[in-house]
Structures are given as structure tokens and as C-alpha cells.
Amino acid sequence: MPKTRSYAFTKRYPTRVNTLTTPVTVSLGFDPRTTKSFPAPKQFIAIWDTGATNSVITKKVVRTCGLKPIGMTQVHHAGGVSNREVFLVNIGLPSRRGFAHVRVTEGDMIGGADVLIGMDIIGEGDFAVTHKDGKTTFSFRVPSVGTIDFRRKRIPPLPPFRKGGSGGI
């Protein structure tokens, strides 16, 4: 059986961060297997959000890429519930792996990002975040090729906390 090729990238930060970002490309949705002339992809900054079910783009992405809505949908977000336009896009990751025909909604974002990568894309691969020595590192590979299990090597259990003792939680 041939080995599955995976596409991966790792981003290292010099400090611990609370927001994971990478450059991505976005273009009008198309099938790269059947399209002879590809729309030019535009580069944006993306936030990676495991709490988001689907990916989101801003009005800036819609304008820059000349996107036209393909419909409307109801979106549940931190600010409540609203009806939002739906767009069909291709998204390219730093690993040079792309996702074709991704259904995204238009939404507002903070922090300078114009794309939110949600679980619709994250769920296609393996995703890990570490904070060794106070420096955040995150890696993503697609397709998923294995399980990441930090408990695979058995570690002896910690002793139970004593009531009234020091050092407990």
C-alpha cells in the first residue's frame, strides 16, 4: 500500500501567545483538477480557532477577491445569532496544501486577521500546540496520519492531595 503524503507546517513564537496566526491565501472557489485558468490567490492573516465550527472571512477578503455570495445562513457567534452571507472559496495553507470549495461566512474579527480557520479545516488533519520553555509552537498536518497521544508512555500518577496541606489546589 502506498504511503499517504502529508502536508505540514510548524509555527514557532518567541514567547507564549494566546492567538495562533498564519498567513493563508484565499481565492474564488474552483476545482483545481478541472480548471485551466486559476483565479489569483490573495494573501491574508488567519486566526486558528478550534472553538469555531466553520471558517470565516471578513468584508476585506470579499472585496479583495471579488467574491459573490452563494446564499445566506444563520450563524451563532460570541455576539449572539445573525444571518450572514455564504461564500465559496479556496484556502491555501502555509504547507502549500489547499482546500477547494470551502463554504465560509462573512463575519467581523478583531486582532488584525481577515480569515478564521475553523474546525471544518482543522478537523481534516492533526493539530498540536505546545508551550515548552514559555514559547508557543503549533503544528498542523493534513491529512491526518496518526494519533498524537501525550499519555502513550505511562507516567506514574501523582500522589493525592491532602486536605489542609500546603501546595494543593
- Do the beta carbons of residue 43 and residue 23 sit within 8 Å? yes
**Model confidence pTM above 0.75:** yes
pLDDT in tens, 104-151: 999 988 788 999 999 999 999 999 999 999 999 999 999 998 888 877
Q: Are strands 98-106 and 56-57 parallel, antiparallel or unpaired?
A: parallel
Name the nearest CA neighbour of 72 among 63, 61, 81. 81
Question: Which domains does the chain possess?
Answer: 18-125 (2.40.70.10)
CA–CA separation, 165 vs 158, rounded Å? Answer: 15
pLDDT in tens, 81-106: 999 999 999 999 998 889 999 999 99
